[in-house]
Every structure is written in C-alpha cells, then in structure tokens.
Amino acid sequence: MRSDSADCKVLAATLLAFLAAAVDARAVEEGPGDWLQKMATAVQTTNYEGTVIRIQDGIAEAIKVVHLVADGVVRERVIVQEGNGLEIIRNGNEVHCILPDRKSVLVQEWDDQSTLFSTLPTSDIQFGSEYDVAIVRQDRVAGRQAVMLAIRPHDGLRYGHRLWLDRETGFPLQTNLIAGDGEAIQQVKFADIKIGETIHASALQPSTNIDDFRWFTEPQEGRKQEIESDWISNNAPSGFRLTSTHAEESPGMGGSTKHMLLSDGLANVSVFIAPHNGDAEVRRARVAASNSFSIAKGEYRITAVGEVPAETVEQIARSMQPK
C-alpha cells in the first residue's frame, strides 16, 4: 500500500512536470518576434552585473560589466580584464574611456542604450525575404534557463545570429554572430550574471585612481547634411537598399565625402565616396566582424564598410556608379 507521503510526492512531481511543460510551451507559443521584442525591452530596462566572455577569432577575453538604468538614464561600467585594462564609465550619453597604461581619459558622447548589446537585431526587422528567424531549443546559460533563437540568412553574403534569451526576462545571455560556414565568428556570453539585484554605487566607480591622468576629447564632428544621392549601386546583394545619403565634412575624411547607408533590414553597409588622392591601391581591412573594401574609381575612392562578409563589401563597392 502506498503511503500518503508517497502520493504527495507523485502529485508534486506531476504538478512540476506539468508546470515545466506549460512554461516550455509558452516559450515556444510566444514566437520569435515576441522574444525579440522582449529582448529589446530587457536590454533597455534591465539592471545587471556580471562577467562576459567575449570570443573573436578564437581569442577570448573577460569583461566585467555593471549596467544600471535609473529614471531612463543608463549608467554603466565596463572593464576589459586583460591587456591594457580599458575601462568605460558611462553616465547617460557621456562616456569616459579610461586607458590606464596611457594615464589618459578619452571623453565621448554615445547615444545608445548599451555598450555590449548595441548590435542586436530588433523586432522591427522585416524577416522573410533575406532571413528566417526561429526558436531552436531551450538551453541553459550562466545558470539560467534560456530560449535559443536563430536568425539565418538565405545566402552567404550576410551573417546569421544565434541568441540565447533569458526565459524569465528576455535578456540576451549569449549572442553569437555566425558566418556562412556555420562558424561563430563572434561570441558574447555571460559566464555569470545577476539580473535585477541591488547594484551598489561603488560598483560604478572607476577601479583606477585617475587623479593625475590627462583628459582628451575628439574634435567636433564636421557638418553633415542629407542630400539626394547622385550615385547608385547597380549590383548590390539582394535585399540591400539605400536608406540615406549625407554629405559630410569631417576632420580627417579628406574634404567633402558622400556617405550612403545601405541596409537589408538587419545588416548595414556604409559607402563613402571621397575625392581620389591618386592612390589606386585596392584596400581590404577587417575590424572584428566588420569588413571594408576600398577601390579607386575615376576621380573618387569608394569605400564600403559593414558588419558583413568581405565579399559583400567588395561587391557593393565595385557596384557603385554615378547616376
């Protein structure tokens, strides 16, 4: 004969299994668009503190992050734990970048909501023609239950994304940028994280004494004006459309430069058209997952830059023609 205690255990186990199944079903029922919306809200409103492991080109580094939003103002401290110990302290739009080995502080203005997660896709993106988005599976990251989303491009001319979103809050616990061969070319993953807990004021103070540091800022941005484009891409990869064109006069940009922004809804590519200085060399460069390709055409140098594969910036730069 079964005891009451045993019956209770069976009942409790059944109830727990039912609740877990209900939560899993809810995670799937909500749909990928709902999760992206949830993620966008979480990134803008969540207070968190943790250690991020960032891997790029097989090189890993640990970054300590403290992020606090109060009265709509973002306060943040990001410390790269290795190398020169770059430290970023943010209060709203004002950002102090502390370079301890140079005993210098660089002051900048940033407009976005998060230092780490500013390249995440948003729910506003129109998926379908160039990308598919799907919930892949339930997973576990940094000790928390996560829902894994995959954003898969239809061709090799743009990157895919894998997102592990905290099931409770939608916060991105891990993001991978995926190349055409399926390899993760960039990974940002929380090794540990505290979400929604009290953050002490001291956690947002610089870790270095900067009393005798020199302070710098960048020169004022040059004039920028929206113009009608007199250049056109005649062979951009499918889905890339011109979203804006500006004329810019910025220091170091070599006179007046046209800046065109092309987007497929998720990936952005800038095309800069500047007066040609006589250098006919073809230039390829890469910064993290961003590629650039620069080529001389007549009196101009065309430079395409974006978070897309090298072939894509090359195809776009080569496709630019005067109207």
| Window 123 to 182, contacts with another protein (CB under 8 A) | none
Compute the least distance from the CB of residue 242 to another protein, in Å. Answer: 13
Other CB atoms closer than 10 Å to residue 95's CB: what's the count? 18
Place of tokens 């941005």: 221
Binding range to another protein, per CB under 8 A, among 9-17, 116-124, 129-137, 147-155: 116-124
* Smaller CB separation from another protein, 4 or 71: 71
* Smaller CB separation from another protein, 135 or 240: 240
Cα–Cα nearest to 32, from 158, 141, 161, 145: 161
Compute the least distance from the CB of residue 317 to another protein, in Å. Answer: 11
What is d(CA 94, CA 292) in angstroms, rounded to the nearest whole number?
A: 29
* Smaller CB separation from another protein, 135 or 142: 142
Compute the least distance from the CB of residue 162 to another protein, in Å. Answer: 14
Cα–Cα nearest to 74, from 168, 199, 166, 172: 199
Binding range to another protein, per CB under 8 A, among 28-36, 156-164, 234-242, 248-256: 248-256
What is the total residue count of the chain? 323
Compute the least distance from the CB of residue 51 to another protein, in Å. Answer: 5
What is d(CA 85, CA 323) in angstroms, rounded to the nearest whole number?
A: 48
206 touches another protein by CB under 8 A: yes
Sort 214 into a burial class: Cβ within 10 Å, 0-12 / 13-18 / 19+. Answer: exposed
Cα–Cα nearest to 239, from 123, 120, 153: 153
Binding range to another protein, per CB under 8 A, among 31-39, 143-151, 257-265, 315-323: 257-265
111 touches another protein by CB under 8 A: yes
What is d(CA 158, CA 263) in angstroms, rounded to the nearest whole number?
A: 11
Which amino acid belongs to residue 192? Answer: D
Q: How far is CA 18 from CA 11, 22, 23, 29, 135, in A?
A: 10, 6, 9, 16, 21
CB-based contact 59:38 (threshold 8 Å)? no
Structure tokens at 227: 């113009």
230 touches another protein by CB under 8 A: no
DSSP 56: E
* Smaller CB separation from another protein, 64 or 297: 64
Q: Which residues inside 298-317 make contact with another protein, applying CB under 8 A?
A: 303, 305-307, 310
Binding range to another protein, per CB under 8 A, among 12-20, 23-31, 232-240, 260-268: 260-268
* Smaller CB separation from another protein, 135 or 306: 306
* Smaller CB separation from another protein, 4 or 212: 212
* Smaller CB separation from another protein, 7 or 94: 94
Q: How many residues bind another protein (CB under 8 A)?
A: 101
7 touches another protein by CB under 8 A: no
Structure tokens at 300: 């101009």
Compute the least distance from the CB of residue 320 to another protein, in Å. Answer: 14
CB-based contact 188:181 (threshold 8 Å)? no
Q: Which residues inside 36-95 make contact with another protein, applying CB under 8 A?
A: 45, 47, 51, 53, 55-62, 64, 68, 70, 75, 77, 80-86, 89-92, 94-95
DSSP 3-state of 74: strand
